[in-house]
């Protein structure tokens, strides 16, 4: 472990804050979906609404775990604690479980471009946050 440079770079703070904002958007999306916000429901077809209304409890729980563990992981990252890596791993597990449900219930061919982009981007960012937090630990930035 490199402990000679235990002060994080400016990019650490920028990445951590951007990651927190990203995860807070996920928390907002979870709250809108969990409470079936009219703003979300208004933009969906009747077929998609039926599929969302039929979302199993375990998938909704995985969504909650993914976004809240990710947001908490970013806060802990900003506090420079190694626990961030564990929280990012938990978040990623939630992402995978939720995606399993989505791929079982939805037809990929019916996804819009934005839906496909986010379906791929969300796990990718989850992996990047795991990798980045490990890198920060190895640099001695997280204790």
Domain residues for 44?
10-138
DSSP strands (E only) in 2-133: none
Cβ atoms < 10 Å from Cβ of 31: 13
User: Total structural domains in the chain?
Assistant: 1
Model pTM above 0.85? yes
Is residue 143 in a domain?
A: no
Is residue 5 in a domain?
A: no
Is residue 94 in a domain?
A: yes
Long-range pairs for 56-60: beta carbons < 8 A, 24 or more residues apart: 56/101, 58/97, 58/101, 59/97, 59/98, 59/101, 59/102, 60/33, 60/34
Render each residue's pLDDT in the chain as its tens digit; 143 residues: 445 568 999 999 999 999 999 999 999 989 988 877 777 778 778 877 887 788 899 999 999 999 999 999 999 999 999 999 999 999 999 999 999 988 887 777 777 788 788 888 999 999 999 999 999 999 999 99
């Amino acid at each position: 472990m490199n402990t000679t440079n235990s002060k994080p770079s400016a990019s650490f703070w920028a990445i951590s804050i951007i990651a927190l904002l990203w995860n807070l958007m996920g928390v907002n999306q979870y709250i809108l979906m969990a409470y079936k916000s009219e703003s979300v429901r208004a933009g969906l077809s009747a077929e998609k609404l039926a599929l969302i209304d039929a979302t199993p409890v375990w998938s909704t729980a995985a969504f909650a775990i993914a976004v809240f563990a990710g947001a908490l992981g970013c806060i802990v990252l900003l506090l420079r604690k190694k626990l961030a890596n564990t929280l990012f791993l938990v978040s990623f597990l939630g992402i995978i479980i939720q995606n399993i449900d989505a791929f079982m219930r939805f037809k990929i061919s019916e996804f819009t471009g934005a839906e496909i982009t986010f379906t791929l981007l969300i796990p990718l960012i989850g992996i990047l946050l795991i990798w980045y937090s490990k890198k920060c630990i190895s640099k001695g930035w997280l204790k």
